């Protein structure tokens, strides 16, 4: 048993292929007839958006590695060119499934509910006349046709923009006969337009912008005959590269990179499926792409724009029922959080419990005359943030406010640059974290004078300080006045701003220094207990599991007889169920209305269980190349609550759970003869049934 090579590539799954499997599960939610119809459309849009980012980041990176002839880097050791070929096959199959679902299932079902997307062939004469008038009034003035010739080469097109390739016959006003033109649709134009009430069969008749342009593209080329018009979209490399060791000002360097993000190397071409092969090849040549990069689609080239339908259509019966997050009773009764935190900690489970107390923690600190300083990390906040407003007001009132902003939060870089400018203008001390290490920890610290002493209070969380995502992401947050924890948080802020390494911490584990070794030590303890004949059990919930050294020690734990239950929403490189290696490991993914985001780690510890909450997934970037924090839940009642709400609850789910197979595929669980049970729904309803099996027993 122990002579099995745990570094063998056969024991690891590909990161990229696992990510595609995750997106297939998202698509399965769109296919699920038990989910409200408009939410199914929403899940389809999410799967499309996920594919966009997959190509922008993962596929683009692989293409660069192939061009540089780089050796495989993942634990699975799959050659990059082989992986790209496999990705192309699976991605094409997934895209075909997306459009089949849209055209054959969702559009007809929506039409049955009076939500229609009218094609040109379905327009009445009155509707056609209105479309023409709308085109001439709203579209024609902002559309720019570009006829291609030596003076007008193929235009530089924005990443993921809607475009049309137009084939022409005849000569233009200057006697030229180019035969091909391109029309770009500005991003400012709506992709869906609602028909006026007097022309519609109901309140929810829509027309695609692309249909309007198709119908009247000839008005852009007077005197010429249109022989074809086909929508297309190119996806580009959108990863940013800044050599932080070389730049003097990270913010300015990122600002420069953001300008070029929209024009990175092309990695994918989507084109209408009725586009002739000759025109397809013409476009592929322009973007220096091959046939495996071509995706023919039967419908809008950007399904993500259909996401707006859920908000445009007032049909509560076709959406998830609304819910109001709970505010714990003791918090609702208190007017001074600091007085409460002197006596007890507060554990919040979002979105089932409100994010408001976290916001109130910073608001009260900003207004409290006894508060001297506030320290805060910010990764993603949203455009309108009460927390940011409070920090600004605190600085303006003379408090010492230090904010560690991660400028490199992917796709939020521009927003975070603007945020840093606003905070600096208000008088906050703004720090951009540590060169080479993203600051991903979620923590805030308040220093308050109480009589003759300075007292610290802290918030630690598994998710961002973003009130919007706190309503749709599951996360835990801890408000505490525990002096040993708040001292640790203080040391971490000193480390982030002063760059000196934090001295030994009391309770917290941090990456890149102690977190990965701490996890390995906790797993090793379970191995020792199992080898001594004691009960041994590990449970962990996270977004992704990739770090090879952690997977290897989990394999050794399984070999020693440790029971291991993993709840991994997205990517998982570990192969469960391999005889002699991982037969004691179960991996499941739970997905549904809410995005599972919390990171929770449980270790049986011979009947004295330890539970940690964390900002970090078990990925190389989180454990080795980011500043992350993992914090213990030491109160027995709180610990039991986390175990019950996270592990007992999610391991009992039999309606929105998928189990990972050793070949990398996932099988969706079904209730069978058991009553159907949804972990998310149980938490939304505020009642976990007493009959839940105690997973940690």
- Contacts of residue 260, Cβ cutoff 8 Å, sequence gap at least 6: none
CA 644 centroid distance within chain: 26
The first and second tokens of residue 256, run together, are 């420069």
Say whether 625 is catalytic: no
**What span, in angstroms and rounded, lies between the C-alpha atoms of 102 and 212?**
20
Question: In 462-504, which ranges are continuous DSSP H helix?
Answer: 483-498
**CA dist., res. 297 & res. 287, Å (int):** 18
Residue 608 φ/ψ, nearest 5 degrees: -115, 70
3-state secondary structure 513-548: CCHHHHHHHHHHHHHHHHHCCCCCEEEEEECCECCH
CA distance 400 to 394: 8
From the candidates 214, 349, 350, 440, which is the catalytic residue? Answer: 440
Distance CA 282, CA 539 (A): 53
- Cβ neighbours of residue 289 closer than 8 Å, sequence gap 6 or more: 266, 267, 268, 269
Both tokens assigned to 559: 């070999």
The residues, any chain, with a CB within 8 Å of residue 243's CB and separated by 6 or more, are: none
3-state percent breakdown (helix, strand, coil) of the chain, nearest 5: 40, 25, 35
Within 10 Å of residue 686's Cβ, how many Cβ atoms?
10
**CB neighbour burial string for 121-130, b if at least 16 within 10 angstroms, e if fewer:** eebeeebeeb
Contacts with 344 (C-beta within 8 Å, 6 or more apart), sequence order: none
Which pairs with CB-CB distance under 8 Å and at least 24 residues apart come from 275-280?
Answer: 275/165, 275/228, 275/230, 275/232, 276/228, 279/165, 279/167, 279/180, 279/228, 279/230
Collapsed DSSP state (helix, strand, coil) of residue 574: strand
Residues forming the active site: 440
């Amino acid at each position: 048993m122990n002579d099995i090579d745990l570094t063998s590539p056969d024991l690891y799954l590909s990161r990229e292929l696992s990510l595609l499997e995750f997106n297939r599960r998202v698509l399965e939610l769109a296919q699920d007839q038990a989910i409200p119809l408009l939410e199914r459309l929403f899940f389809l849009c999410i799967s499309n958006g996920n594919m966009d980012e997959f190509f922008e980041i993962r596929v683009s990176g692989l293409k660069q590695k192939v061009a540089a002839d780089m050796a495989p880097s993942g634990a699975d050791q799959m050659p990059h060119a082989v992986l790209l070929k496999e990705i192309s096959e699976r991605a094409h199959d997934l895209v075909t499934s997306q459009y089949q679902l849209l055209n054959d299932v969702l559009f007809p079902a929506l039409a049955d509910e009076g939500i229609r997307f009218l094609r040109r062939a379905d327009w009445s004469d009155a509707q056609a006349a209105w479309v023409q008038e709308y085109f001439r009034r709203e579209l024609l003035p902002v559309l720019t046709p570009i006829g291609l010739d030596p003076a007008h080469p193929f235009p530089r097109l924005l990443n993921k923009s809607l475009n049309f390739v137009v084939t022409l016959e005849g000569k233009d006003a200057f006697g030229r006969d180019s035969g091909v033109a391109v029309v770009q649709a500005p991003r400012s134009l709506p992709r869906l337009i609602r028909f006026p009430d007097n022309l519609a069969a109901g309140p929810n008749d829509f027309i695609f912008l692309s249909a309007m342009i198709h119908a009247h593209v000839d008005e852009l080329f007077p005197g010429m005959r249109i022989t074809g018009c086909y929508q297309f979209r190119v996806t580009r490399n959108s990863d940013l590269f800044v050599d932080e060791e070389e730049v003097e000002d990270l913010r300015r360097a990122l600002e420069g990179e953001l300008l070029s993000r929209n024009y990175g190397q092309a990695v994918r071409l989507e084109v209408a499926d009725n586009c002739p092969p000759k025109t397809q090849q013409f476009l592929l040549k322009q973007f220096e792409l091959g046939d495996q990069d071509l995706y023919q689609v039967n419908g809008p080239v950007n399904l993500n724009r259909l996401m707006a339908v859920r908000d445009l259509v007032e049909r509560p019966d076709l959406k998830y029922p609304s819910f109001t997050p709970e505010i714990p009773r003791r918090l609702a009764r208190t007017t001074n959080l600091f007085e409460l935190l002197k006596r007890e900690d507060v554990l919040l489970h979002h979105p089932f419990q409100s994010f408001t107390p976290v916001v109130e923690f910073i608001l009260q600190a900003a207004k409290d005359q006894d508060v001297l300083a506030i320290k805060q990390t910010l990764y993603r906040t949203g455009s309108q943030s009460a927390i940011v407003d409070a920090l600004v007001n605190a600085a303006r009132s003379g408090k010492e406010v230090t904010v560690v902003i991660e400028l490199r939060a992917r796709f939020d870089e521009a927003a975070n640059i603007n945020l840093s400018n606003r905070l600096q203008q208000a008088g906050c001390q703004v720090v951009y974290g540590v060169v080479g290490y993203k600051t991903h920890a979620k923590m805030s610290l308040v220093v308050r004078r109480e009589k003759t002493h300075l007292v610290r209070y802290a918030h630690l969380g598994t998710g961002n300080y973003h009130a919007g995502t706190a309503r749709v992401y599951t996360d835990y947050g801890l408000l505490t006045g525990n002096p040993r924890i708040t001292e640790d948080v203080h040391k971490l802020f000193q480390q982030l701003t002063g760059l000196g390494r934090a001295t030994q911490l009391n309770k917290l584990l941090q990456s890149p220094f102690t977190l990965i070794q701490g996890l390995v030590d906790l797993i090793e303890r379970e191995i020792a207990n199992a080898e001594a004949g004691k009960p041994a059990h590990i449970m962990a919930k996270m977004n992704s599991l990739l770090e090879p050294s952690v997977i290897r020690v989990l394999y050794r734990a399984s070999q020693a007889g440790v029971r291991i239950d993993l709840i991994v929403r997205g990517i998982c490189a570990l192969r469960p169920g391999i005889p002699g290696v991982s037969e004691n490991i179960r991996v499941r993914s739970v997905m549904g209305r809410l995005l599972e985001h919390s990171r929770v780690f449980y270790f049986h510890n011979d009947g004295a269980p330890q539970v940690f909450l964390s900002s970090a997934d078990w990925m190389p970037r989180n454990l080795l190349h980011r500043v992350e924090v993992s914090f213990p839940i030491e109160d027995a009642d709180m610990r039991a609550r986390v175990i019950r709400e996270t592990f007992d609850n999610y391991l009992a789910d039999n309606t929105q759970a998928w189990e990972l197979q050793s070949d990398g595929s996932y099988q969706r669980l079904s209730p069978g003869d058991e009553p159907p049970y949804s972990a998310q729904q149980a938490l939304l309803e505020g009642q976990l049934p007493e009959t839940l099996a105690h997973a940690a027993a």
